[in-house]
Amino acid sequence: MSNHTGCHHLLSTLSDYIDGDLSAELCAELDQHLEGCSNCRVVVNTLKKTVELYKEEDGPDDLPGDVRYRLFQCLELGDFQSK
Ligand SMILES: [Zn+2]
């Protein structure tokens, strides 16, 4: 609890996470947070499933900006990803 990192800060790293560009440090931070935060766990699981589904259907390595934008909107994370 003393080292609590805000959910929103953690979730803001997810765009890098999707890109496979998250640093090991942040990745560990994210994992640690997820262990104690079921809210974020749900978000990340949903995000992963969405990305996997998307990849299965269309095959590209990267999510187009529009898809990502809508994804974050859907997850109510749009404010940090706004242009
Ligand atoms: Zn959280």
Distance 40 CA to ligand 1 centre (A): 4
23: exposed, middle or buried (C-beta count within 10 Å: 0-12, 13-18, 19+)? Answer: exposed
Question: Does the global pTM surpass 0.95?
Answer: no
**Ligand 1 centre and the CA of 2: distance in Å?**
14
Measure 58 CA to ligand 1 centroid, in angstroms: 30
Tens-digit pLDDT profile for residues 37-83: 898 888 888 887 877 777 666 555 565 666 666 666 656 554 544 34
Q: How far is the CA of 75 from the centre of ligand 1 (A)?
A: 13
Q: What angle do CA 52, 73, 58 make, to 5 degrees?
A: 30
Q: pLDDT at position 1, please? A: 40
C-alpha 59 – ligand 1 centre gap (Å): 30
